[in-house]
Amino acid sequence: APTHIALMTITEGFTYSVIGVIAGYIVASSTGTIAQLLGLDIPMDMSSPHLPLAFLLSLLAVILSCTYPALKISKSVTPSLRRRWEIVTTPRGNRWYVPLPFRVSSHKEGWGVMKYLAEYFQKKYTGEFEVLEGPSIEERPEKRLVLRLSIILAPRDVAVSEYVEIIATPTKNRKMIFGVYSELRTGKRYMWITLHRKFIDHIRKQMLLWRTLDPGVKLKYMYH
């Protein structure tokens, strides 16, 4: 995230400044001691109140010099004004399609992601949502992959349920892009809009975990 990168840059500068101050103090005191042993009369007062002030000014100078580059780097990570991913589409009636910021390099890997998500939905036991039907995977014309399921969103007492399709669509360069299509089945529409946003964010994060899987595990999903 841009904020994390900015903090990391500033922290790195602060660390180097602390190391530099400590190293400078050690070198200065060692030089003074050696000079005295050689009989040179170099006055040194290690108890001077100006010493910690010089340390603080050195730290401040380095931190300030890191702040502007850190902000520039953070903006280069996310050039737009958005500091995090947001849903850019709106529901049309009781239907909603949300494109996801996720793609894979091949149709076969698309199958792997779908199997990975299907397994996840089969083993999902948290209170965020409950699977009512499915999941099932099918391949439609033009090599589109679709994972279908019906869910009820938490909290259950608001009775918001929806039909969901996670769709992987091939591009001209043979990559696969993903999106989520949903239809409200039961419950209030305004409640569905709020709860569905949370569900989309949950799915997005789960799909990003695919990137962290071991290559051997990915191959098992892709070819089994």
pLDDT band at 68 (very low <50, low <70, confident <90, very high): confident
Interval 137-165: pLDDT, tens: 999 998 999 999 999 998 888 899 999 99
Query: Is residue 89 included in any domain, yes or no?
Result: no
Q: How many domains does the chain have?
A: 2
Q: Are 9 and 48 part of one and the same domain? A: yes
Q: Are 132 and 73 part of one and the same domain? A: no
Q: Which domain holds residue 159?
A: 95-223
Query: Is residue 84 included in any domain, yes or no?
Result: no
Q: Are 70 and 138 part of one and the same domain? A: no
Q: Are 161 and 67 part of one and the same domain? A: no
Q: Are 49 and 102 part of one and the same domain? A: no
- The pTM of the whole model exceeds 0.85: no
Q: Are 32 and 100 part of one and the same domain? A: no
Q: Are 113 and 204 part of one and the same domain? A: yes
Q: Are 27 and 122 part of one and the same domain? A: no
Q: Are 71 and 102 part of one and the same domain? A: no
Interval 72-117: pLDDT, tens: 666 655 554 455 788 989 999 999 999 998 999 999 999 999 999 9
Torsion of CA 214, 220, 223, 224, to 10 degrees: -160
Tell me which residue of 62, 109, 118 sits closest to 215, measured CA to CA. Answer: 109
Q: Are 40 and 100 part of one and the same domain? A: no
155: cis peptide before it, omega within 30°? yes
- pLDDT (average), residues 52-68: 79
Q: Which has more confidence, 139 or 60?
A: 139
Query: Is residue 143 included in any domain, yes or no?
Result: yes
Q: Looking at the DSSP assignment, which residues form a beta bridge with residue 144?
A: 140
Q: Which has more confidence, 23 or 182?
A: 182
